[in-house]
Structure 1
Amino acid sequence: MELNVVDLSRLQFAMTALYHFLFVPLTLGLSVLLAIMETVYVMTGRPIWRQMTKFWGTLFGINFVLGVATGIVMEFQFGMNWSYYSHYVGDIFGAPLAIEGLMAFFLEATFVGLFFFGWDRMTKVGHLVTTWAVALGSNLSALWILVANGWMQNPVGAAFNPQTMRMEVVDFFAVLTNPVAQAKFVHTVSAGYVTASIFVLGVSAWYLLKGRHADLAKRSMTVAASFGLASALSVVVLGDESGYLTTEHQKMKLAAIEAMWETEPAPAGFTLFGFPSESARETHYAVRIPWVLGLIATRSLTQQIPGIEELVAGAERNIASGIKAFDALQQIRSAGSSQAIPPAARQAFEADGHNLGYALLLKRYVDDPRQATPAQIKAAAWDTVPSVPTLFWSFRVMVGLGFFFIAFLALFFVLSARRRLDRYPLLLRLAVLAIPLPWLAAELGWVVAEVGRQPWNIEGVLPTVAGVSSLGATTVLATLVGFVAIYTVLFVIEMSLMLRAVRKGPEPDDAPEAELIPQAFAAAE
């Protein structure tokens, strides 16, 4: 098999990104749960809540450290494996990442230290503020990362400069308020809250099954069930908003998710089940629900959702327009100065420059897009279709798990309200077994988001094939193998530390004696 630098670079980044995202959801969710638990401790003065905060904080700390280690590697890959991507869009993409490091990561890292070492050195209120600062920093990190990622999905607030051959910021506020980025942020953090809630629920259920730390386990399950249920409901609502925005900004992704090969009369039906075939360009044994997709994706009864074949035909037209832009760009570049640029070339680029990225799709087949044959243009147009089976099944498993989480958390919420959490051992075993499921849903969500964006690094602007560094395939393969080996070791370390901490359980509370005195007795003194 011929080694392909683009595919190997994509595989390496996908592996490191998916591994890194094993840590992100738990960090996001546990940080907020810690703040909630400590708030209850400060309000009630009951030591059990301090003990809970410390115990879950230990698991948060293990997860946080390894999350930081794996996240740093990802940023270096932009320079190592995707140097032309970094050159082309670094002015826009780099700004949110820099702000994330300066504003969010340093804030989070600083207060994490105070959280662990400030228990007996700060007042209760001061330490509570520290814990909320950790939660704020974690969520601000997610915000800026997703502002950058959202711009890759919907590149707003930027324009291509033919003199510098780079995308440049023209409206940073538009980048910041990108609707795709905002929807991805709230959807992602809500999913993180669900992940942490089910993690806390599962570990607490294990303690109840073992007859250990019952007081801590029941209170933890009550907090996790109520917080998780609200978050799971938010994930569904915010996921609907993401789907609506996909209809506006990433029509091909939506068509691939639904395996909609041909445009249907409005409102389109939703394919509940089926087997998409890319070779036959149809979905076998499809089970469809009329009108549902049209109502969800367009929120109307009259707006059509274009199918894959119609979108491919549109891509062919965009490629033809992009070739004109590419030709005009070569004339602008060869002119030497702005005064020498032919007016016709300037006008042509202004008219067709927005489709320049489509011409770059032809780089996979020919060095000069102007020399492309009709067959190559057609092949490049079909390259705009991402892997339909991958998106079709990833989306459905993710959504199915989302509805399962709502029912699961609602059941434990009712049991906690009735104080019957320890009366159903079978449900407790189910809670333990369910611990990995939120991670599966989260990883599938990123598969839908990122595989659905292919073949683009930046949607409609820069193809993936044009963004890689000038590296040999053997070099990329060697680093890929190295990352797999290192990350496997880190995974084993992570699991060992987490399991050891869970088996050990919470430390006996070491609060000062004055904090153990009932408030009424203290007031009497």
Structure 2
Amino acid sequence: MSSETIARWQFGVTTVYHFLFVPITLALSWLVAILQTLWVRTGNQNYLRLTKFYGKLFLINFAMGLVTGIVQEFQFGMNWSEYSRFVGDIFGAPLALEALLAFFMESTFLGLWIFGWDRLNKHLHLGCIWLVAIGTNLSAVFILAANSFMQNPVGYRFNPETNRAELTDFVAVLTNKVFLATFPHQMAAAWLVSAAFMAAVAGWHLHRLNKTLPKAADLNDVEGMQQIADHDHEVIPYRFAARFGAIALIIAGMAVMLTGDFQGKAMYEKQPMKMAAAEGAFEDTKDFSILTIGNREANEEVFAIHLPGLLSFLSYGNFDTDVPGIRPLEARYQEEFTPMLRERYGDEVADHFAQNGYHPNIIVTYWTFRIMITLGMIAMAIGAWMLWVLRGDRLPRGKLWVWLMVALPLAPLFGNSFGWIFTEMGRQPWVVFGLMPTMSGVSPGVTAGQMLFSLIGFTVVYGVLAVIEVKLLLHYIKLGMPEYVEEPKVLEDEDAPLTFAY
């Protein structure tokens, strides 16, 4: 394999792995802040128990995301030095702000939140977790702004003397049309994952508790009544978390669909080749592909099921406008980009594109797009089913419920990952669309053998971290919430002894 291929595999493996933690961190911080706010406003101990329970799971996920995220920035200088040299003036600005503003903000206030439970006023302590949530999502703003420049470069000028892109308008980078569509879509997708995670964990505990209820209900003595009371102290907060998570999941799913429509229109405008590949559309068409099967070379349609006019509506808001296909776009890109590539990167790069074309891997792009959508729809369906099962005072039973609670957080989590694979693979063969081909961004001084060694090393280390992460999460999920502690009741009778009754 070439150094470019190995470098892409390494960045892909480490990025997808890191992104398993990102959506949970982005939205679970808000969910924990909401739970703590409910406790501060109501004084209900159940909200405090849920805050500490999900807060601990958030911390485990945050730590793993932090460790794996640091690796990403080092790769820019080590494996992609030509890319960093070309776009560093622009790409470095949002990354610097992400570290100096967002990361320091979230890490500082997270430390205060962790160690300030018995030291800070509860309102100040509550403010800390809200600032953590703001800082975490502010990180996403700068990261997505940087990525959106790679999808749709704006706010720059090309300097032919240095062969670099130079920043001219940072506001334009932050108001990039692709960024304005991507950010709300990613936030909604993160809520989809975190809400599913909250609902699934609570749903698993409800199933566990339901198995102990008959035994407690059969006892009529004091011990039996105490078992029933203890059972209720567990069921009530977990039922709230399960239902709250399921409702948030469904709302987030609808937001994902709405923002996805906006993002799709932005991509059709700025990256029509990506969306043509996502549809497997070789020629101009108005129809949306439900299923397309191509030949072995992935350059001809063999069998297809289409919805007439839907692709035109998703792209332009009407049913009558043709969406450009892969072949017409190839001809357009050959005329538009090949002379630029020959001038800036030489005959070898230009000839490579003239021979291999400007389209991404059509099979990967087509199927990751559909897997992303399917997994999100599955998560929403499970969330709706949860609300039906938990209606009234009902509790779940059966192995089907357990298996669906396992699948519930994994479906939107993997859906997020497939969405990013689609986004990045669909941009190929560009590392910065229309400006720099991926093959020209690799470090010239790093050999394929060196990259392969680091790829194997990262894969092994990340595998070990995955085992640690899963074990920690499962351990603390099984432990559940902190025990319910009966609030001391003050006797109001002035003649009564000055004691507390428990």
What residue number does 1:506 align with?
481
* Cα drift, residue 115 of structure 1: 1.5
1:59–1:144 Cα change, 3 Å: same
Structure 1 residues without counterparts, runs of 5 or longer: 327-355, 519-525
Matching residue within 402, 406, 414 for 2:380: 406
Q: Match of 1:36, as an amino acid?
A: I
Which shows bigger deviation, 23-32 or 410-419? 410-419
What residue number does 1:91 align with?
89
Structure 1 residue 281 corresponds to structure 2 residue 299? yes
Q: TM-score, normalised by structure 2?
A: 0.89
Matching residue within 409, 412, 431 for 1:438: 412
1:206–1:122 Cα change, 3 Å: same
1:34–1:517 Cα change, 3 Å: farther
What residue number does 1:118 align with?
116
Structure 2 residue matching 1:286: 3-state secondary structure: strand
Measured against aligned partners, the alpha-carbon deviations of 1:186-237 in whole angstroms (never above 9, x if no partner) come to: 1112111111111111111111111173223112112212222211110111
Q: Match of 2:94, as an amino acid?
A: P
Q: Match of 1:247, as an amino acid?
A: Y
Aligned sequence identity (%):
39
Matching residue within 213, 216, 228 for 2:237: 216
Q: Match of 1:498, as an amino acid?
A: L
Structure 1 residue 303 corresponds to structure 2 residue 279? no
Q: Match of 2:280, as an amino acid?
A: A
Matching residue within 246, 250, 267 for 1:225: 246
What residue number does 1:254 align with?
275
Contact 2:276 2:282 in 1 (8 A): yes
What residue number does 1:294 align with?
312
Q: Match of 1:144, as an amino acid?
A: F
Structure 1 residue 378 corresponds to structure 2 residue 376? no
Q: Match of 1:99, as an amino acid?
A: L
What residue number does 1:174 align with?
172
Q: Match of 1:174, as an amino acid?
A: A
Contact 1:361 1:465 in 2 (8 A): no
1:65–1:171 Cα change, 3 Å: same
What residue number does 1:447 align with?
421
Once residues 441 and 182 of structure 1 are traced to their aligned partners in structure 2, the CA distance between those partners, rounded to angstroms, is: 21
* Cα drift, residue 510 of structure 1: 6.8
What residue number does 1:271 align with?
289
Structure 1 residue 390 corresponds to structure 2 residue 364? yes
Measured against aligned partners, the alpha-carbon deviations of 1:48-102 in whole angstroms (never above 9, x if no partner) come to: 1001000100010011011000000000000000001000000100100100111
What residue number does 1:65 align with?
63
Once residues 256 and 127 of structure 2 are traced to their aligned partners in structure 1, the CA distance between those partners, rounded to angstroms, is: 27
Counterparts of 1:282-361 in structure 2, within 5 Å, are 282-322=300-340, 326=343, 360=345
Which shows bigger deviation, 87-96 or 311-320? 311-320
Once residues 125 and 282 of structure 1 are traced to their aligned partners in structure 2, the CA distance between those partners, rounded to angstroms, is: 63
What residue number does 2:499 align with?
none
Measured against aligned partners, the alpha-carbon deviations of 1:279-308 in whole angstroms (never above 9, x if no partner) come to: 261222211110010111111234321110
Counterparts of 1:18-37 in structure 2, within 5 Å, are 18-37=16-35
* Cα drift, residue 412 of structure 1: 2.9
1:128–1:99 Cα change, 3 Å: same
Structure 2 residue matching 1:435: 3-state secondary structure: helix
Q: Match of 2:3, as an amino acid?
A: V
* Cα drift, residue 164 of structure 1: 2.1
Once residues 517 and 73 of structure 1 are traced to their aligned partners in structure 2, the CA distance between those partners, rounded to angstroms, is: 55
Which shows bigger deviation, 192-201 or 147-156? 192-201
Once residues 424 and 50 of structure 1 are traced to their aligned partners in structure 2, the CA distance between those partners, rounded to angstroms, is: 30
Counterparts of 1:476-487 in structure 2, within 5 Å, are 476-487=451-462
1:51–1:272 Cα change, 3 Å: same
Which shows bigger deviation, 85-94 or 120-129? 120-129
* Cα drift, residue 362 of structure 1: 5.1
Once residues 282 and 116 of structure 1 are traced to their aligned partners in structure 2, the CA distance between those partners, rounded to angstroms, is: 57
Q: TM-score, normalised by structure 1?
A: 0.85
* Cα drift, residue 276 of structure 1: 2.8
Once residues 74 and 64 of structure 1 are traced to their aligned partners in structure 2, the CA distance between those partners, rounded to angstroms, is: 16
Structure 2 residue matching 1:87: 3-state secondary structure: helix
1:218–1:320 Cα change, 3 Å: closer
Measured against aligned partners, the alpha-carbon deviations of 1:142-179 in whole angstroms (never above 9, x if no partner) come to: 11100000110000111101122210111111101111
1:260–1:132 Cα change, 3 Å: same
Structure 1 residue 243 corresponds to structure 2 residue 241? no
What residue number does 2:48 align with?
50
Once residues 455 and 490 of structure 2 are traced to their aligned partners in structure 1, the CA distance between those partners, rounded to angstroms, is: 58
Once residues 404 and 341 of structure 2 are traced to their aligned partners in structure 1, the CA distance between those partners, rounded to angstroms, is: 57
Once residues 232 and 37 of structure 1 are traced to their aligned partners in structure 2, the CA distance between those partners, rounded to angstroms, is: 21
Once residues 517 and 174 of structure 1 are traced to their aligned partners in structure 2, the CA distance between those partners, rounded to angstroms, is: 61
1:387–1:320 Cα change, 3 Å: closer
Q: Match of 2:355, as an amino acid?
A: A
Structure 1 residue 129 corresponds to structure 2 residue 105? no
What residue number does 1:149 align with?
147
* Cα drift, residue 425 of structure 1: 6.7
What residue number does 1:420 align with?
394
What residue number does 1:350 align with?
none
Which shows bigger deviation, 179-188 or 50-59? 179-188
Contact 1:81 1:468 in 2 (8 A): yes
Measured against aligned partners, the alpha-carbon deviations of 1:329-379 in whole angstroms (never above 9, x if no partner) come to: xxxxxxxxxxxxxxxxxxxxxxxxxxx5xxx48544xxxx5xx5xxx5631
1:254–1:236 Cα change, 3 Å: same
Which shows bigger deviation, 176-185 or 62-71? 176-185
Structure 1 residue 497 corresponds to structure 2 residue 495? no
Number of residue pairs aligned between Structure 1 and Structure 2: 467
Structure 2 residues without counterparts, runs of 5 or longer: 210-230, 492-502
Q: Match of 2:481, as an amino acid?
A: P
Q: Match of 1:279, as an amino acid?
A: E
* Cα drift, residue 125 of structure 1: 1.4
* Cα drift, residue 185 of structure 1: 1.3
* Cα drift, residue 406 of structure 1: 2.5
1:298–1:105 Cα change, 3 Å: same
